[in-house]
Amino acid sequence: MELLNLAKIRLQKMRESELESLMDDVYSFCGKHEILLPKMDDDYPRSKRKRSGVSYLHHFHVEVFYAIIDLQLQELNNRFDVVTSDLLLGMASLNPVDSFANFDKNKIMKLAGYYKNDFGDNQLRDLSYQLDSFIGIKDLAIVMAKTKLDQTWSLVYLLVKLTLILPIATASVERAFSSMKLIKNDLRNRIGEEFLNGCLVCKIEPKVFATISNDAIMNSFQRMKPRRVQL
């Protein structure tokens, strides 16, 4: 999260004050390779029939330079919004490395607050008391399960399980949606749900299907129903 914040600050600084140095690099590169540059005060040609009223400098500055940086900042904000940032920071606060050096009760409580079904008002209050005495438990989930501390510190253990499941669950959902965009495209936009599910399984679990021979797959299809030709 610190790297994310630094990246956003760096992009903002670049947007505000580094166009001139970038243009200097462009001039140097074009001069070295004998590339002809337009006069920045001339109109940028949008159409052959009429003047655009926009100079080359304005086009490169606003419509290219600003637009690209704003797009990158927007992508970072969309990917790491407030909720995602709170989840990641809360999960990091439960990391047992260096005797829980990153432990932060407030961030953990904020993480738990997003799971209303598991942590109601009473559970949140009890979790707050448990976290006050939580530091000192080593190796977290494994030790808690082996020593039955998951029963004593039930809410802490529930939160630990959620943080362990969340990255996998999120990645699985992202992978499924990415696969769906590839399979259900413009040419196959009427694909049935059952067929789509079958295609998604093949796409999402390629390592499993790599262990199955083509003959076994064809034999399975052949046995499903009578066919005009032998597969």
- Residues 14-65: tens digit of each pLDDT: 999 999 899 899 999 999 999 998 888 888 887 766 667 888 888 899 999 9
Q: What is the mean pLDDT of residues 100-109?
A: 79
Separation of alpha carbons 134 and 131, rounded Å: 5
CB atoms within 10 A of CB 126: 15
pLDDT at 153: 67
**DSSP code of residue 43:** B
pLDDT at 73: 92
Whether the pLDDT of residue 137 is over 50: the answer is no
- In the structure, what pLDDT confidence band is assigned to residue 98 with cuts at 50, 70 and 90? low
